[in-house]
Structure 1
Amino acid sequence: MISALYKWRYLFLAFLLMLCTALWPGVRSGVQVDNSLSAWFLEGDPALVAYHAFQGRFGNDEVVIIGVHDSASLLTPRSFQRLRQLSLALESHPDVAAVLSAGTTTVPAPDGLRAARPLLDSAATPAAVRRYLDRRPTLRQQLFSPDYRTARLLVVLRASPNFDDRRGEILGQLRAITAAHVPRGSFWLGGVGVVYAGLNALSQQDFGLFLGLGYALMFLIFWLLYRNLWLLLYTLGIVSLATYVTLGVYGLLGYRLNLMTVLLPVIIILLGLMDALHVVNERNHLARPGSTGPADTLQALRNLVRPCLATMLTTVAGFLALLSSPMAILRVFGIFAALGIGLCLVFTFGLGVLILPHAAPSPRTTRTTSNRLVAFYALVLRHRQLATAVSGVLISLGLWGATHLRADTYTLGYLPANHIVVRDHQALEAAWGPYLPLELLVEPRPGYSLASPAVLQAAAAFADSARTLRSAGQVFGFHSLYQAGLETRFGPRGGRLLGQSGAVHDIGVRLQQDYPELLAQFAHQPTGTGRITVSGRMLSARQLTATTDTLLRMAGHTLGPVARVRPAGYQPLYARITDYVTTSQTNSLLLSFLLVLGLVWVFVGNFRLALLALIPNVFPVVVLLGVMGWAGIALDTATASIAAIVLSFCTDDTVHFIHAYREQRRLGLGPAAARHATVAHVGPTIVLTSAVLFGGYAVMMLASLQTVFLFGLLTSLSIAAALYGEVIIFPLLLERFDRD
């Protein structure tokens, strides 16, 4: 096969050029970012279906909360004018469905709910506005803080097919509109979408920057080790072509980059570097003084066909284990990571016959590393008991730390403390209180409706209970519209009349006639379901789940006899994402271990040896999970994929080690001599690969974004642990269990 590939190498080059040209539209399309919900969930997922059903009833549930602040008071004519102008400017934006604020609120006439004039019209005086709102506490709570220093504007965004793609652009425009009407430092933006957009933008910026720096550092180290442009071109070609073709196919199939598939270049460069270094190392061992031509290169490639094919299959199997995930984003990630790994193998041999014959061998680097590694191995053998004890302690500490590992996600914690999103969030919570919406769907039981006095009273009782939670603030729902109407007609005590059917019926008629759009936001007439929004604090996924459970228990005591209550909107979907990711990664990691064990067993034909080979693969994963447990680093979307990357790294080196060891045994060497020869033969590649990858990923620790920092820290740590497992633990295991 290698001889045929060398014979037709220029035809292979022409095919590559045509392939790259054909895939360019796919690459250009695939590198676009799409973090929409459809990318995360499989079609028909119950959580996604429920979310879309909620949106179908009440529209887009994503709102932007804008807080406008004045250290003295907002009850001034100048502030009234600003709030009116700002509200009108926001309403005119094509992506805004509605703005609920003091500037858009109309004041009902004294004889009913029929609108007469805006609350903050040009004739309104601060004293009159205060008197009016003090008599209507339900309305005041939605517009101003108790001290009237902060006003809240709820900007309801319009649903659109490409809303997720344009979220950052829309939020930037809303911020600019607000800045044009309110002095700098006197307003803040908050909401789930604001946090998500800030995280998304900084993720792309930091990840792209530091991933690029990491790649540059990797190849700089490679250049310093070998100082050969042909070898550098060979390595760059493998990584670049595999990445390009993978992204081309990815884009042509209609996919876009997301928070998981943006890691594809990381996977490809890792495997591409390792395959390239194994080939370079093998050729350096075969190089003879004065030898010329492609003979050494072709022989090196022939020697590595079988182990490289085995490493490719085991690594591909590990990533294809993600197909067991219930999430579309993880399945797609696993499929295209497997494709990129397979392409690395193709280009390792395809570019090997094209480029490597032009590169002069550089056996000095390999032999120097080999001699030092053999000396180190001899030192380990002289102190094998100490090395065994240290390894046992590390494994024990890792396992103990892993028992403390928790699964959670706190998106705001990924941003640096000085980020504008974090500053706005802290200022908004300090001035207004909890503001993020937690949605509940209320479905009256048979015999009841949303307008039933019993349901309205129960909803009001639930709201009073929910406000006692430390993580909750204001509560507004379908019952609040009736309360506000009763307060308008009967004053501050009007809210107590929710139990009188006549008064409630009259208010309901007025709401349907004069405020149909407002009513539709909290009551869906075709299904008879209502909506209650609890303002909550920014919570982690675990805390959010606990708070939601508490709210549902409260709802069971108050609303339970007359209605069913269940969580709705984006927040339960967010919690489900975290649960899916962590569960999927745990299951897929276990499945990948089983697949790797089976494939290595087939490759070596010896179950005991395959089982021994699994131990150094497990060691860095144990260290990784242990460090995360001891350091309190949660298993989430930012850290859950690292274990699969570490597994691919370890499996590659382990298979090459086993292959070289068995070849030495076939040549008639005894176990001890075979181990020494194997360490001398493949050890340099393991050490040099680890040095290159460690330096490349360690540079990511300079990032300000917590996700990039943790990715660099944990991957670098895992690479160091993998090196320890390959050069210390595995040889000691072979010495222990392969004596004859």
Structure 2
Amino acid sequence: MIALLYRFRLAFLSLTLLAGLALWPGVKAALVVDNSLAVWFLRGDPALAAYHEFREKFGNDEVVVIAVRAGRETLLSPANLQALRQLDAELAALPAVATVFGPGSATLPRRSLLGSYAAPLLAPGTNGEAVRAALQTLPTLREQLFTADYRTARLLVVLKASADFDNQRGQLLDEVRATVLRHFPASRAHLGGIGVVYAGLNALSQQDFGLFLGVGYLLMGLVFLLIYRDWRLLLYVLGVVGFSTYLTLGLYGTLGHRLNLMTVLLPVVIILLGLMDALHVINERNQLASKTTTDNTELALQALRATFYPCLFTTLTTVAGFLALLTSPMAILQTFGLFTALGIGLCLVFTFGLGVWLLPLARPAAPSTRAASTRLAGFYGWVLRRQVPLGTAALLLLLGLAAGLPRLRADTYTLGYFPPSHPVVRDHQAIQAAWGAYLPLELLVTPRAGQSLHSPAVLQAAVAFADSARQLAGVGRIFGFHSLYLGGLEARLGERRSRVALGSASVLRLSHEQLAADYPSLARQFETANGGTGRITVSGPMLSARQLTAKTDSLLAIARATLGPVATVRPAGYQPMYANIVQYVTASQTNSLLLSCGLVFFLVWLFIRDLRLALLTVVPNLFPVLVVLGLMGWLGITLDTATASIAAIVLSFSVDDTMHFIYHYRQQRRAGHAPAVARLATITHVGPAIVLTGTILFCGYAFMMLGSLKTVQTFGALTAVAIAGALLGELIIFPIVLAWFDKD
């Protein structure tokens, strides 16, 4: 096969370039960042189906929450009232805005001889005292518009749903922000909501993608120039990882995918893991050069032949580790695993396809290889002279790390992905401080047979639910279909008599008719057209997925006690899907780790055809996995979307060097060498490549700690620690295990 590659190397390169040209549109498409729900959840996920059902009934749930604060005067000053009125009007005029609910757009129910009508709260010429007097008797409406001291107002901007909404979100939010800042300074105006978080994540993902792509290539270039001092070898490895990354992104974009929180790591993972086989090929060529005077071309082809079989199986094990993520119930992890596996497979193709081109042009570095082998031989001797204390220390370390496993918890906190000083975080904190909890948790209420949304029993139960739910820690304002009736009754009868009137079917029937006539748009947001389902929005703080699950359970318990006899209640909207991530993360970690362990062990056994040696490889390769998971348990680092796959990934790349080690060791044993001789020959032959790949991987993943996204920082730090553990297992634990179980 190597001879065929060498013979048709020009055709191989031509096909590669043609594929690159064909996939250029896909590369451009892939570089657009999208962290929307579609990339997180599988298409058939029940939670996603329920979310789409909610949007069909009540429209786009993506609401921008705007909190504006007063300066020296309250918001009831003439200048502030005019600014609020103009702001509402300009926001409503934006093409992407469906509706705005704020002081400037709020209307009050009025009555005249000709019937009822709706009058604007902030009509031209209305002063602050008139606004205060009007809202004094309408507490339900007032608490949705102003704080009690009238120093903070809230506006809700509902954006229109569209087919390409996720791609336009950032631009739409920029238009909203620019409109707000024309009337209120940035120090007094703050934007929040799920869409704002999405847009912030998209921007950081784009930033980190450029950083990691640049750092990955820069790091690789510096290491190769410092160690090998040969630009042709640098061109070789750049070609391997460059073509692999480019074609992977091209296929990724062509199939309709966009960069997200996980796949932003694709380039750096492909770069760093793709280096491993290329480094083993270069090391093999250098080892052969120290023993023969064959010309460069034949030397390169011999090295490619000698390393093809172990490189093939190391690629298969790495690919198997990433493909194990296909068992995850999260689309974002499935996509990451699939395309990373594709990129690693392409690295194998280009390691040999470009190797027949470029390796013959580069000069061998036999002297430096001999020096590295000599130092490793000395280190190996030191390890074997201290087998008992080193083995005991390794065992104690394993037991200590294993004690951290029960402390592991699965959780995720979206706001925690941002740096503490990020504008999204600052705005969120400012809104919560000035207004209170504001993020919506949607509940859908379906009346039981014989009841309707405007039945006295249902409305009284909904009010009882709201009163009880407000007592929960962290729960803020609550607004739902019941609030529409309560607000209308407050306008007609006053605050005290309005609650009594909730028990009158005739009064509620008239209120229902008035609501449909005077406030049809508002009614559609909280009641379906046929009146079969009502909506209650509970405002709460930004919580982690685990905390949100607990809070939702508490709210549902209250709902069962209050609304249960007359209606069924279920959570809806975005938040239930967010809460499900805890279950998905746990399933992803368990399924992917078990599957990758099974696949890797099977491939190792298939590779060496020796059950005992295959079993021995389990120890050094599970060691870095235990290092990561145990350390996470002790440090309180939760399993989230970034770390859910880390155990399977660590296992997949840590086994690569083990495969090269065990392959050469098996060859030495089959040649008749004693175990001690075989171990020494192996450590001096493949050891330099193991140390070099470990060093490059460690530095590359440690560089991820410079990323902006906390998920990227955590992933990089933990993977760097795992690589250090893998190097320790490969150079110390594995030789000791071999010495104990494969004796002379």
Normalising by structure 2, we get a TM-score of 0.97
Judge which range, 718-727 or 643-652, deviates more. Answer: 643-652
> Which amino acid is the alignment partner of residue 625 of structure 1?
L
Judge which range, 164-173 or 720-729, deviates more. Answer: 164-173
Where does 1:409-488 land on structure 2 (aligned, <5 Å)? 409-488=412-491
Between the aligned partners of 1:701 and 1:689, the Cα distance in structure 2 is 19
Are 1:207 and 1:708, in contact at CA under 8 Å, matched by a contact in 2? no
Quick check: 1:75 aligned with 2:79?
Answer: no
Quick check: 1:242 aligned with 2:244?
Answer: yes
Equivalent residue for 1:383? 386
Where does 1:476-555 land on structure 2 (aligned, <5 Å)? 476-496=479-499, 497-526=501-530, 528-555=532-559
**Are residues 311 and 546 of structure 1, via their aligned partners in 2, closer, same or farther at CA, if it must alter by over 3 Å?**
same
Between the aligned partners of 2:91 and 2:657, the Cα distance in structure 1 is 58
Judge which range, 392-401 or 472-481, deviates more. Answer: 392-401
Between the aligned partners of 1:75 and 1:588, the Cα distance in structure 2 is 58
Equivalent residue for 1:262? 264
Quick check: 1:308 aligned with 2:333?
Answer: no
**Are residues 546 and 184 of structure 1, via their aligned partners in 2, closer, same or farther at CA, if it must alter by over 3 Å?**
same
Equivalent residue for 2:57? 57
Equivalent residue for 1:41? 41
Which one of the candidate residues 723, 730, 738 is aligned to 1:734? 738
Where does 1:70-469 land on structure 2 (aligned, <5 Å)? 70-71=70-71, 72-110=73-111, 114-287=116-289, 288=291, 290-469=293-472
Are 1:86 and 1:177, in contact at CA under 8 Å, matched by a contact in 2? yes
Between the aligned partners of 1:107 and 1:267, the Cα distance in structure 2 is 58
> Which amino acid is the alignment partner of residue 408 of structure 2?
L
Between the aligned partners of 1:466 and 1:515, the Cα distance in structure 2 is 27
Between the aligned partners of 2:575 and 2:476, the Cα distance in structure 1 is 16
Between the aligned partners of 1:589 and 1:170, the Cα distance in structure 2 is 41
Quick check: 1:635 aligned with 2:629?
Answer: no
Equivalent residue for 1:16? 16
> Which amino acid is the alignment partner of residue 33 of structure 2?
V
> Which amino acid is the alignment partner of residue 651 of structure 1?
V
Are 2:600 and 2:652, in contact at CA under 8 Å, matched by a contact in 1? no
Equivalent residue for 1:601? 605
Are 2:205 and 2:264, in contact at CA under 8 Å, matched by a contact in 1? no
Between the aligned partners of 1:649 and 1:436, the Cα distance in structure 2 is 41
Equivalent residue for 1:559? 563
1:51-98 Cα offsets, whole Å, 9 max, x none, are 000000000111111001014311111111000000011111111111
Specify the SS of the correspondent of 1:472.
Answer: coil
> Which amino acid is the alignment partner of residue 423 of structure 1?
R
> Which amino acid is the alignment partner of residue 24 of structure 2?
W
Shift of 1:648: 2.3
**Are residues 581 and 167 of structure 1, via their aligned partners in 2, closer, same or farther at CA, if it must alter by over 3 Å?**
farther
**Are residues 735 and 527 of structure 1, via their aligned partners in 2, closer, same or farther at CA, if it must alter by over 3 Å?**
farther
Are 1:36 and 1:165, in contact at CA under 8 Å, matched by a contact in 2? no
1:390-413 Cα offsets, whole Å, 9 max, x none, are 211221222111221111111111
1:604-653 Cα offsets, whole Å, 9 max, x none, are 11122111112211111111111111111111112223333322221111
Which one of the candidate residues 687, 694, 705 is aligned to 2:691? 687
> Which amino acid is the alignment partner of residue 229 of structure 1?
W
For structure 1, the 5+ residue unaligned runs are: none
> Which amino acid is the alignment partner of residue 438 of structure 2?
Y
Shift of 1:290: 4.9
Are 1:5 and 1:353, in contact at CA under 8 Å, matched by a contact in 2? yes
1:446-491 Cα offsets, whole Å, 9 max, x none, are 1111011000000000000110111211110000000000000011
Between the aligned partners of 1:41 and 1:700, the Cα distance in structure 2 is 26
Which one of the candidate residues 712, 717, 732 is aligned to 1:713? 717
Between the aligned partners of 1:245 and 1:442, the Cα distance in structure 2 is 50
Are 1:238 and 1:348, in contact at CA under 8 Å, matched by a contact in 2? yes
Between the aligned partners of 1:14 and 1:351, the Cα distance in structure 2 is 12
Shift of 1:602: 1.2
Between the aligned partners of 1:334 and 1:422, the Cα distance in structure 2 is 30
Are 1:218 and 1:693, in contact at CA under 8 Å, matched by a contact in 2? no
> Which amino acid is the alignment partner of residue 438 of structure 1?
L
Equivalent residue for 2:624? 620
Equivalent residue for 1:673? 677
Specify the SS of the correspondent of 1:98.
Answer: strand
1:660-709 Cα offsets, whole Å, 9 max, x none, are 10011111111111111111111111101111121222223233432232
Judge which range, 308-317 or 453-462, deviates more. Answer: 308-317
Shift of 1:318: 1.7
**Are residues 210 and 347 of structure 1, via their aligned partners in 2, closer, same or farther at CA, if it must alter by over 3 Å?**
closer
Specify the SS of the correspondent of 2:440.
Answer: strand
Are 2:62 and 2:159, in contact at CA under 8 Å, matched by a contact in 1? yes
Normalising by structure 1, we get a TM-score of 0.97
Specify the SS of the correspondent of 1:114.
Answer: strand
Judge which range, 401-410 or 17-26, deviates more. Answer: 17-26
Specify the SS of the correspondent of 2:300.
Answer: helix
> Which amino acid is the alignment partner of residue 636 of structure 1?
D
Specify the SS of the correspondent of 2:441.
Answer: strand
Between the aligned partners of 2:349 and 2:66, the Cα distance in structure 1 is 54
Aligned length: 740
Between the aligned partners of 1:407 and 1:709, the Cα distance in structure 2 is 18
Equivalent residue for 1:583? 587
Are 1:512 and 1:519, in contact at CA under 8 Å, matched by a contact in 2? yes
Between the aligned partners of 2:431 and 2:331, the Cα distance in structure 1 is 35
Quick check: 1:573 aligned with 2:570?
Answer: no
Shift of 1:207: 4.2
Are 1:411 and 1:540, in contact at CA under 8 Å, matched by a contact in 2? yes
Percent identical residues? 61
Between the aligned partners of 2:222 and 2:312, the Cα distance in structure 1 is 28
Between the aligned partners of 1:116 and 1:688, the Cα distance in structure 2 is 75
Are 1:35 and 1:165, in contact at CA under 8 Å, matched by a contact in 2? no
> Which amino acid is the alignment partner of residue 131 of structure 2?
V
Are 1:214 and 1:695, in contact at CA under 8 Å, matched by a contact in 2? no
Shift of 1:361: 0.1
Judge which range, 700-709 or 445-454, deviates more. Answer: 700-709
RMSD: 1.6
Specify the SS of the correspondent of 1:535.
Answer: strand
User: After TM superposition, which residue ranges in structure 1, 4 or more long, deviate above 4 angstroms?
Assistant: none
Shift of 1:332: 2.6
1:403-442 Cα offsets, whole Å, 9 max, x none, are 2111111111121222111111111111111000010010
Shift of 1:231: 0.6
Between the aligned partners of 2:241 and 2:193, the Cα distance in structure 1 is 40
Are 1:434 and 1:473, in contact at CA under 8 Å, matched by a contact in 2? yes
Shift of 1:500: 1.4
